[in-house]
Each structure stands twice: as C-alpha cells, then as structure tokens.
C-alpha cells in the first residue's frame, strides 16, 4: 500500500530543487535497479516493486536490511512512475557525494549547457564505456539526476562522478590541463594522437561551445564531414571523439 505522502514525496523528486532538498533521486526498471544496487557508490533508501518483481528479488530484503521495502500493485506503480511504460520497480536512492580526484592525470568530459536529458544520459553511458570517471557540467546543463537522465544513462550514473561547476572558475583552477573543444571549425579529429589527460569539452546542442571557452581551448577538434548534415548529435560526437582519443 502506498500512502499519499509517499506518492507526493516520489513525485516531488521530478524537480531538481526538491531532489537537492531531499538529497534523493529516482531510478526505475529491473535492469537499472540491479545496476544501482550492485554498486557501493549509491545508497538505496526505498524500493517499490510489484509482486512479480519481488518474487525474483526477494533476497534483497536480507542483503540490504536498512532499506524500506514496499510491495505495490501495478496501478500504484503507474501512479508514481515517471516512465511512459512503468516497469516493475521504482527505487529511491540517496544523491551521491561528488568526488572529483586527480583531474590533472586523466581525461574528463566538460559539458557546456547540454539541455536534452536523453543526450546527457547517453553521454554518461559513453563516459562509463570508455572509463572516463568524471563529468563536469555547467550549472545550466540538464540535471544528471533528472529521472529521464538516469533512465538514459542505463545505470552508468552509478559509476561516473558528475559535478556541476561554473566552467570559467573551474577552468581557472585547472589551468595546467589542456582543453580539447569539439567545434565545427577545428582541426580534423584524425590529426590528434591518443591522449591520457585533458578536458574534452562538448557544447550545447544548438549553440555549441560558448565563444569564451572555445577561445580558451588549446585544441579545437572537428569530426570530418563528408556529407551534408549540419551537425552531429552531441552524444554521438562525444562517443566518436572519445573513441578516437582514448
């Protein structure tokens, strides 16, 4: 049974402000739940599963004893789910502490105002695939713990550190790290060798990287275009560049 206040609380987690006030976010579906429950970085607070889901996952009750477990009906899941097709289970998790470390000696991704939750989530998944441990996003970027971003990240959000920082001040702190800016007027990607440290900066879906950051970048790189499309999707560009540079 779901109480009214539980429903209200979960629905409130669709808003960034209330996620931050409550220090919590939502993830849904068996696959993503299993990924999040398998990591130590993210702490579960409550799990709302249907009878079908609990039949498969009853062991959890012993494994993580401090979590609130709820068996709910399909209709109840429908009420709290953020998905257009609710999928067996919804979990509430504690927002993880941000833990940036050793940025001088690795490759990190910098996000300059990526707006689309699907793009952001896909970039987190790409970072996880290529073992990029840190994403630093401008404050105006989509929020990484928006349910749509969590969903698109397919569980990778548990393995990538994501910090929100005004990028100008952030770059001032890391002046020794080279910036690789993805732009439409840079050097061809193929002219760059592999790198082991640096900031790959990806810009907004329609405006690209702000001029001030493009000017600060030591390297501007461009994925050579052979056809006529005006641009590539921001997440696709991130994948292509990381695949080449790493």
Would you tell me which residues interact with a second copy (CB under 8 A)?
35, 118, 122, 125-132, 154-156, 159, 189, 223, 225-233, 235-240, 243-244, 246
Show the tokens assigned to 45.
């607070």
Cβ-based nearer residue to a second copy, 135 or 171: 135
Exposed/middle/buried for 43, CB within 10 Å: 0-12, 13-18, 19+? middle
Collapsing DSSP to helix, strand or coil, 124 comes out as: helix
Length of the chain: 246
Nearest approach, Cβ of residue 140 and a second copy (Å): 18
Cβ-based nearer residue to a second copy, 62 or 206: 206
Q: How far, in Å, CA of 235 to CA of 139, rounded?
A: 18
214-239: b (≥16 Cβ within 10 Å) or e:
bebbebbbbbeeeeeeeeeebbebbb
Give the 3-state secondary structure percentages of the chain, helix then strand then coil, rounded to 5: 40, 25, 35
Nearest approach, Cβ of residue 166 and a second copy (Å): 27
Cβ-based nearer residue to a second copy, 24 or 114: 114
Nearest approach, Cβ of residue 128 and a second copy (Å): 4
Cβ-based nearer residue to a second copy, 3 or 196: 196
Cβ-based nearer residue to a second copy, 195 or 240: 240
**What letter would DSSP give residue 69?**
E
Exposed/middle/buried for 85, CB within 10 Å: 0-12, 13-18, 19+? exposed
Nearest approach, Cβ of residue 36 and a second copy (Å): 13
Q: How far, in Å, CA of 108 to CA of 199, rounded?
A: 5
Nearest approach, Cβ of residue 67 and a second copy (Å): 23
Cβ-based nearer residue to a second copy, 6 or 198: 198
Nearest approach, Cβ of residue 146 and a second copy (Å): 16
Q: How far, in Å, CA of 14 to CA of 16, rounded?
A: 7
């Amino acid at each position: 049974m779901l109480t009214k206040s539980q429903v209200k609380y979960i629905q409130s987690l669709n808003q960034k402000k209330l996620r931050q006030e409550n220090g919590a976010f939502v993830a849904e579906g068996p696959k993503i739940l299993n990924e999040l429950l398998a990591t130590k970085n993210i702490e579960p607070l409550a799990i709302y599963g249907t009878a079908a889901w609990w039949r498969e996952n009853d062991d959890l009750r012993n494994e993580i004893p401090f979590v609130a477990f709820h068996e709910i009906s399909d209709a109840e899941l429908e009420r709290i789910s953020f998905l257009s097709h609710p999928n067996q289970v919804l979990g509430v998790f504690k927002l993880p502490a941000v833990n940036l470390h050793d940025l001088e000696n690795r490759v990190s991704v910098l996000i300059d105002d990526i707006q689309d939750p699907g793009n952001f989530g896909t970039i987190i998944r790409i970072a996880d695939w290529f073992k990029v441990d840190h994403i630093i996003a401008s404050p105006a970027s989509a929020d990484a713990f928006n349910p749509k971003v969590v969903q698109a990240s397919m569980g990778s959000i548990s393995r990538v550190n994501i910090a929100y920082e005004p990028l100008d001040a952030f770059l001032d702190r890391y002046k020794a790290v080279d910036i690789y800016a993805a732009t439409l007027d840079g050097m061809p990607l193929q002219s760059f060798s592999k790198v082991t440290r640096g900031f790959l900066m990806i810009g907004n879906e329609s405006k690209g990287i702000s001029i001030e950051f493009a000017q600060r970048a030591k390297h501007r790189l461009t994925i050579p275009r052979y056809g006529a499309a005006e641009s590539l999707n921001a997440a696709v560009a991130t994948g292509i560049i990381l695949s080449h540079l790493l």
